Amino acid sequence: MRYSLVLILLTSLRCWTQTTTTGEARTGGPCSVANTGSDNKIQISCGIGKEQGQQMLAILNKILTDHLDTNAVMTKLDEIQSGVSSIKSELDNNEKQKEEAERKRRTAPILFPSLVPIAAGKVNMCIKSGNQIPYEFDYFITDSKHLILGGFPMYPERVFPPSDAPLYCIPKDIDLASIPDHYIELSFDFQSLSYDELHLPGHAGRITKKYRISPDGKSISLIP
Per-residue exposure over 123-150, b if at least 16 CB sit within 10 Å of its own CB, e if not: bbbbbebeebbebbbbbbbbbeeeeebb
**Quick one: 116 and 86 in the same domain?**
no
Higher pLDDT, 60 or 175: 175
Asked whether residue 102 is domain-assigned, the answer is no
Distance CA 184, CA 211 (A): 5
Q: Give the predicted TM-score (pTM) of the model.
A: 0.62
Instruction: Name the residue range of residue 178's domain.
Output: 111-222
- Which of 36-45, 47-56, 138-147, 156-165 shows the lowest per-residue confidence on average (mean pLDDT)? 36-45
Asked whether residue 59 is domain-assigned, the answer is yes
**Quick one: 18 and 71 in the same domain?**
yes
* CA dist 8 → 13, 53, 64, 92, 184 (Å): 9, 14, 10, 34, 85
Per-residue pLDDT for 150 more than 70?
A: yes
**Quick one: 22 and 66 in the same domain?**
yes
**Quick one: 117 and 185 in the same domain?**
yes
**Quick one: 141 and 69 in the same domain?**
no
Asked whether residue 99 is domain-assigned, the answer is no
Comparing CA positions, the residue from 215, 187, 164 lying closest to residue 114 is 187
Query: Which of 91, 123, 138 is the last residue in one of the domains?
Result: 91
**Quick one: 133 and 218 in the same domain?**
yes
Query: Which of 61, 91, 121 is the last residue in one of the domains?
Result: 91
- 131 pLDDT band, cuts 50/70/90, is very high
**Quick one: 29 and 116 in the same domain?**
no
Eight-state DSSP code of residue 124: E
**Mean pLDDT, residues 192-198 taken together:** 97
Domain count, the chain: 2
Q: For residue range 1-59, what is the model confidence (pLDDT) as tens digits?
A: 444 444 444 444 444 444 444 555 454 555 555 555 555 666 656 666 778 778 777 88
**Quick one: 218 and 125 in the same domain?**
yes
Q: For residue range 44-53, what is the model confidence (pLDDT) as tens digits?
A: 566 667 787 7
Query: Which of 58, 91, 124 is the last residue in one of the domains?
Result: 91
Asked whether residue 127 is domain-assigned, the answer is yes
The 10 Å Cβ neighbour count of residue 9 is 19
- 218 pLDDT band, cuts 50/70/90, is very high
150 strand-pairing partners: 141
| Residue 199 confidence (pLDDT) | 96
CATH code where residue 183 lies: 2.60.40.2550
* CA dist 156 → 5, 41, 153, 186 (Å): 72, 79, 7, 16
Distance CA 80, CA 88 (A): 12
